[in-house]
Amino acid sequence: MTITAKYFGLIADFTKEIEEEFTIEKSDFSTEDLLNDLKQKYSELQETSFVIAVNKNITSENLNLKNNDIIALLPPFAGG
């Protein structure tokens, strides 16, 4: 399956990308698996506070990902 990770604010500063597509060989792959891979790739993520949104819904659960899912990494909000 193919999934997209989106990066915002402070996080996009160190990923140097605002979006990345990943092709996953396994059929069983969760948000936690993705975050573990990303923390390997971007060590700064380990000291960054953020929440994740799967297909625009914020979630704190460990969800199984499907083909075409969009996972956003969102640092603290600062509207207003």
- Residues lying near another protein in the complex (CB under 8 A) are found at 6, 8-10, 53, 56, 72, 74-80
Taking CA 44 as the corner, what is the angle to CA 18 and CA 69, rounded to the nearest 5 degrees?
40
Which CB, 27 or 49, lies closer to another protein? 49
Q: CB atoms < 10 A from the CB of 48, how many?
A: 16
Q: Least distance from C-beta 26 to another protein, angstroms?
A: 27
Q: Least distance from C-beta 12 to another protein, angstroms?
A: 8
Q: Least distance from C-beta 9 to another protein, angstroms?
A: 3
Say if CB 72 and CB 53 are below 8 A apart: yes
